[in-house]
Chains A and B, each alone.
Chain A
Amino acid sequence: MKDYILSGLRALDLTDEKGFACGKIMASLGIETIKIEKPGGDKSRKTSPTLTTNNGEEISLNWLAFNTDKLGITLDIDSPQGKEIFKRLVQKSDFVIESFMPGYLDRIGLGYEVLSEINPGIIMTSITPFGQKGPYANFKGSELIVSAMSGVMDSNGDPDRPPVREGPDSITFHSCAAAVLGSLIAYHYKVKTGEGQQVDVSMQEVAVTRTSSNLIVWEFDKKLIKRNSTIRTVGARSTRWIWECKDGYVFWAYMGGPGGAPANRAIAQWISEEGLDNPFKEITDWDEFDMASIPKEELDIQQEAISRLFNLHTKKELAQESLKRGLRISVIQNPADILEDIQLESRDYWSYLEHPELGLKLRYPKYFFLSNLTENFIRKRAPYPGEDNEYVYCNILGLTKSELEILRREKII
C-alpha cells in the first residue's frame, strides 16, 4: 500500500451534519480523524432516511455516507471529567473541527483560547451557517436556510413556482471542502511557526462565492438574474442545457459561435440521418451561427427539432452516439445510472466496504483525487458508537483498561 498524502496528523471531529464531510475528506488524506459522539451515539445517526440494521436499529444514510474512515469514540465533553479527557486529546492532536452554535465551546470551557493554551499549535476549524461573529451569527441555519440567504436559491427553479433548493446538500459539502482547505493552509503556517489558529467557515459566504457572475451583473448593470428552469444564464449569455429524452433527461448546451459549432454540426447531421425535419439544413457556416440574432420563432423550431431527436432515443443511446459523433451530450444520471457509469468504472472509482451490521457490502466513491505517488483512498465504513474507544483511550492517551471501565460506568464515555 502506498502512503497517504498526509500522515502523522490527528483531527478531533466534534461536528454534526454540517461538518461530517470535513472530517471525511481529512481522513481520506491520511489524517487520523476521531469522530467524538455523546455516550450512546450521536443523534444524527437516526436522521431520516435510514436503513435498518440486523439488530433492528435505524442507521442514517447521511451518517454512513459522510463518516467513512473515521475512528469512533464516545465522550461526554459537557461533563467535567469528559472535558479533561478532551483536553488531553487536544494535546495530542493537530486539528479540532466543530459545528456548534458560535460561543458554545467557549461557554463549556473548551473554546479556542483554552485549547490553544494547552496546545499552541492546535488549529480549530468551525463550520457554521453564518460564521462566528456578526448580527446573524446566532441565527439557526441549515442547507435550505443558507441556500436562501446566499442568493443561490433565488437563481434556481421554475419561474412559475417558488425558488427551489438543490437536490444534494451542496452548500454543506462545499463548506466542508472550504474547511479542509482553510485547515490545511493553517497547518502549513503552523509547521513554519509553531502557531495554530482558528479557521472560521461561514456556509452563507461559501455559497455567495458561487454567485459571482450574478453579483457582477447587479453591481454594474442593476439587473437581477432569476430562476429560469432549464436555461443557464451567465452574465448576458443564456444557454438552454436541460432536455428531455425517451427515458429521462440529458444535458446539452445549445450555444452559437465557434464554441458550439462542433456539437451543432454533429446534431444537425444526425437529425438529417434520422430523416427528421431539419431546420438546420440551410446552415453552412456554423462558426457564424449566432443565437442572439435568431428570431424567437426560428429558435423554437430549432429547439423542437432537437427535442424530437432526443425524444427518439434513450439516455444510453444518446451517451453512445455522443461519444461516436462528438455531440457533447451528457446524461442526467440518476443514482442507479451512476453505479453503472463506464468512466467511473474505468478509473477504479469504487471502494467496496463491508457492513456486517447490515449484512451488506456497499459501494462508495474511493477517492477525491488521484495521485501517481500517494493513495488517498476511502477504506473503511463509518464507525459504530465507541468502536475505537479502547484504541484511542488506551493506546493514544495511555489509560488502563480498568480506568476505561470506570469511565464507561460513569457514562463519561
Chain B
Amino acid sequence: MNKLALEGIKVLDFGWALVGSLTTKQLADHGAQVIRIESMSRVCLTRTNRMISKSRADNPDDKPWFLHLNTSKLSMFLNLKCKSSWKVLERLIKWADVINSNFVPGTLEKMGMGYDEVRKIKPDIIMVAGSGYGQTGPLAREWAVDGTGGALSGYLDLTGWPDRGPVGPNVPYGDVILPYFIASAIVAALDYRRRTGKGQFIDASMVEVCVHQIIPALLDWQARRHLQKRSGNRIPNASPHGVFPCRGDDRWCAIAAFTDEEWTALCETMGMPHLANDPRFATLSLRKENEDELEAIISQWTMQHSAEETMHLLQASGVPAGVVQTMEDIMKDPQLKAREFLINLKHPVIGECGHPTPPYKLVKTKAQIRTSPCMGEHTEFVCSQLLGISDEEFLELWQKGVFQ
C-alpha cells in the first residue's frame, strides 16, 4: 500500500449531514485521522433517513447514505449536553489540528466552543464552519438546505425550459460543492500554520460559493442589461446541443457540436453528408436560427438506434456524445469500471455496499477508503489510545453519561 498524503493530520469533526460529512471524508480518505463526534441526542440525518427497504428506523448503523459520506473516519460518542463531557472535549481540542463544523451559525458559541474560546485551549487551531449563508449578516441563522443555495445563487432560475418554470435535479448541488472548498481551505490553512505558526477561522457559505458559477450571467446583466434565462439544453456556442430520443423506453443520447468539423462529422455519421452545407444549417448562427428543424432531423436518426449505439457511432467520428445514463447504466459503465471508481466495501451491519471513490485521483498517494464507522464504534479506542484516558476515568465518565 502506498503512503497517504495527509497522514499525521488530526481532525476533530462536529460536521454532519452532507456538507460537514463530505468535507472531512476528503481528508480521511487521504490519510488524516478524523474523529467524528456523535451523540444519540443529535443523530445525523444520514443515519436516520430510510432510503431503502432494508433500513430500520431504530438502527443508526444500517443506512448506506451515511456509509457513502463518512468513509475512513472514526466515530466517538460524546454528549456535549452533559457537563462532564468537557473533560474529554478539552483533550480532543488539544489533540486536534483542525476542527470541522457546520452548525447553524451561533451554535458553537452557545456551546462555549466559539473560536475565541477554543484558541485559549489550542492557540494554533484551524477551525472551519460551513453554512448556508455565512456566519454573519441578516440571514446567517436562517434555515438552509441544498435547495436554498440553488435558489439564492441563481442556479435554479437558470435550470429548465424557457416556456416553463425552473426545475431542479434529484441530486444535491451546493451541498456537494461547498465541501471541496472547505477541505481546500483546511489544507491551505495547514500550510499557512506551517509557515507562520498561526491557525485561523474559516467561514464558508454555500450561497457565496455557488454564485461564482453564474458570474457570466452577472456580467451580462451589468454590462448590457441582458438577463440570461432558462434555455433548456441549448447554449449560444454550440448547435446542435441537446438530448435526443433513442430506441427504447425513455432512452436518450446527448449530442453537441461546437465546431463546423463536428457538425460535418455528425452529418456524415447520420448518412446525410449533404446536410452539412444545407443553407439552413451551414454555420453555427444558421443552425441556431433553425434549431427546431435541426433537432427534429437528428431525432429522426437517433430514434433508429439505441442510446449506446448513437454514442459510439458519434464518438468514433469525433462528435461529442454521451448516453443519458441511469443508475443502472452507471453501475455497468465500462469507463468507471476500468478506473475502479465504484468499489465495494464490507460493513458489519449492511454487508457489501458500493461506494464512489474520490473523483480526483492522486496517482502516487492513492486514496485508501475504509468502510464508515458504526455509531460510537471508536469511543474507547479514542479515549485510551489517542487521549490517554485511564480505564478508571473512562468508566467514571461513562457512568456520568458522557458517552451517550
List residues of chain A with CB under 8 Å of any chain B CB: 3, 5-7, 21, 25, 29, 47-49, 51, 61-62, 64-66, 130-131, 133-137, 139-142, 144-158, 161-170, 173-175, 177-182, 184-189, 191, 193, 195, 197-202, 204-206, 208-221, 224-230, 232-237, 241-242, 244, 248-251, 253, 263, 323, 328, 330-339, 341-344, 346-347, 349, 358, 360, 362-365, 367-374
Given A185-B30, A233-B170: A48 and B236 within 8 A (CB)? Answer: yes
Quick one: which of B53, B150, B164, B236 contacts A220, CB cutoff 8 A? B53
Are B330 and A208 closer than 8 Å at their CB atoms? yes
Residue on A with the closest CB to B319?
A140
A205 x B322 contact (CB < 8 A): no
Q: How many angstroms from the CA of A347 to the CA of B196 in the assembled complex?
A: 27
Which one, B248-256, B379-387, B394-402, is touching chain A? B248-256
Determine which of B136, B142, B147 lies in contact with A323 in the assembled complex, contact meaning CB atoms within 8 Å.
B142
Q: How far is the CB of B27 from chain A (nearest CB, A)?
A: 8
The answer to whether A25 touches B184 (Cβ under 8 A) is yes
Specify the chain B residue showing the minimal Cβ separation from A145: B322
B50 interfacial by beta-carbon distance below 8 Å:
yes
Q: Which 6 A/B pairs are nearest by Cβ-Cβ distance?
A: A167-B158, A235-B51, A182-B360, A205-B359, A156-B169, A251-B151
Determine if B376 is an interface residue (Cβ-Cβ < 8 Å).
Answer: no
- The residues of A that contact B168 with a CB separation of less than 8 Å are 156, 230, 232, 241-242
28 contacts between A and B (CB under 8 A): A51-B224, A65-B215, A144-B256, A148-B254, A148-B324, A181-B183, A187-B191, A188-B190, A195-B364, A202-B359, A216-B68, A219-B331, A219-B353, A221-B54, A224-B327, A224-B328, A226-B250, A227-B170, A233-B170, A249-B166, A263-B143, A335-B217, A342-B138, A344-B211, A349-B211, A358-B223, A360-B223, A368-B185
B277 contacts partner chain A, Cβ-Cβ < 8 Å: no
Closest chain-B Cβ to A410's Cβ sits at a distance in Å of 28
Residues on the B chain within 8 Å of A184, using CB: 184, 187-188, 191
Given the contacts A158-B167, A331-B151, A332-B151, A150 and B321 also touching, CB distance less than 8 Å? no
Establish whether residues A144 and B241, one from each chain, have CB atoms under 8 Å apart when the complex forms: yes
Kindly provide the distance from the CB of A188 to the nearest chain B CB, expressed in whole angstroms: 6
* Nearest-CB residue, chain A, relative to B8: A192
- Pick from A62, A249, A358: contact of B165, CB below 8 A: A249
B136 engages A149 (CB within 8 Å):
no
A193 to B4, CA, bound (A): 11
Is A152 touching B171 in the complex (CB atoms < 8 A)? yes
Contact yes or no, B203 A370, CB < 8 A: yes
Question: Across the interface, do B227 and A336 meet the contact criterion of CB distance under 8 Å?
Answer: yes
Contacts A164-B167, A368-B185 supplied; 6 other A-B pairs, CB < 8 Å: A188-B190, A227-B167, A230-B166, A234-B170, A242-B165, A347-B134
* Docked complex Cα distance between A321 and B1 (Å): 57
- 1/0 contact trace for B132-174 toward A, CB 8 Å? 0111111110111101101111111111110011111111110
How many angstroms between the C-alpha atoms of A332 and B151 in the bound complex? 4
Contact of B339 among A205, A211, A244, A368 (CB under 8 A): A205
- For residue A130, which residue of chain B has the nearest CB? B335
In the assembled complex, how far is the CB of residue A290 from the closest CB belonging to chain B, in whole angstroms?
13
Min C-beta distance of A18 to chain B, whole Å:
12
Chain B min CB distance to A337 (Å): 8
A181 touches B184 (CB 8 A): yes
Q: B201 an interface residue at 8 Å Cβ cutoff?
A: yes
Please tell me if the beta carbons of A180 and B184 are within 8 angstroms of each other in the complex.
yes
Determine the distance from Cα of A100 to Cα of B171 in the docked complex, in whole angstroms.
Answer: 29
Write out the residue numbers on chain A whose beta carbons fall within 8 Å of the beta carbon of B185. Answer: 5, 368-369, 371
- What 1/0 mask marks residues of chain B from 327 to 351 whose CB sits below 8 Å from any chain A CB? 1111101111011011000000000
Residues from 205 to 224 in B contacting A, C-beta threshold 8 Å: 205, 207-209, 211-224
A249 touches B157 (CB 8 A): yes
Q: Is B108 an interface residue (CB 8 A)?
A: no
Determine whether B313 belongs to the interface, using a CB cutoff of 8 Å to chain A.
Answer: no
Instruction: Judge whether B335 and A253 touch: CB under 8 Å.
Output: no
Among candidates B180, B250, B365, residue contacting A178 with C-beta atoms closer than 8 Å: B180
Asked if A227 contacts B169 (CB within 8 A), the reply is yes
Contact of A200 among B137, B183, B360 (CB under 8 A): B360
A105: min CB distance to chain B, Å: 15
B233 touches A338 (CB 8 A): no
CA distance A372 to B185 in the complex (A): 13
CA distance A174 to B210 in the complex (A): 10
Assembly CA distance A154 to B335 (angstroms): 18
CB distance from B239 to the nearest CB of A (A): 11
Task: Check if B254 sits within 8 Å of A140, measured CB to CB.
Answer: no
Q: A48 vs B237: C-alpha distance in the bound complex, in angstroms?
A: 5
Query: Known: A332-B151, A372-B115. Contact between A164 and B159, CB under 8 A?
Result: yes
Residues of A within 8 A of B30 (CB): 185
CB of B180 within 8 A of CB of A215, answer: no
B273 in the interface, Cβ–Cβ < 8 Å? no
Task: Report the minimal beta-carbon distance from B326 to chain A, rounded to whole angstroms.
Answer: 5
* Interfacial chain B residues near A5, Cβ < 8 Å: 185, 188-189, 191-192, 200
Query: CB-CB < 8 A to A64: which residues of B?
Result: 215-216, 219
A218 touches B328 (CB 8 A): yes
Q: Are B220 and A251 in touch, CB under 8 angstroms?
A: no
**Contact A155/B254 with A49-B216, A140-B320 known, Cβ cut-off 8 Å:** no
**Chain A residue at minimum C-beta to C-beta distance from B54:** A220
Chain A nearest Cβ from B254, distance in angstroms? 4
In the assembled complex, B88 has its CB within 8 A of some CB on chain A: no
Cα A28 to Cα B183 with chains together (Å)? 15
Q: In the complex, are the beta carbons of B232 and A164 less than 8 A apart?
A: yes
Contacts of B241 in A (CB 8 A): 144
**Nearest neighbor of B22 in chain A, beta-carbon distance:** A209
A325 to chain B, nearest CB (A): 12
Chain A residues near B229 (CB-CB < 8 A):
334
Tell me the minimal C-beta distance from A334 to chain B in angstroms.
5
Task: Determine how close the nearest CB of chain A comes to the CB of B132; give it in whole angstroms.
Answer: 9
Name the contact of B167 in the complex, choosing from A156, A187, A201, A343 (C-beta under 8 A): A156
Choose one: B54, B212, B226, B318; the contact of A365 (CB below 8 Å): B212
Q: Which of B69, B209, B360, B364 has its CB near the most chain A CB atoms (within 10 A)?
A: B360
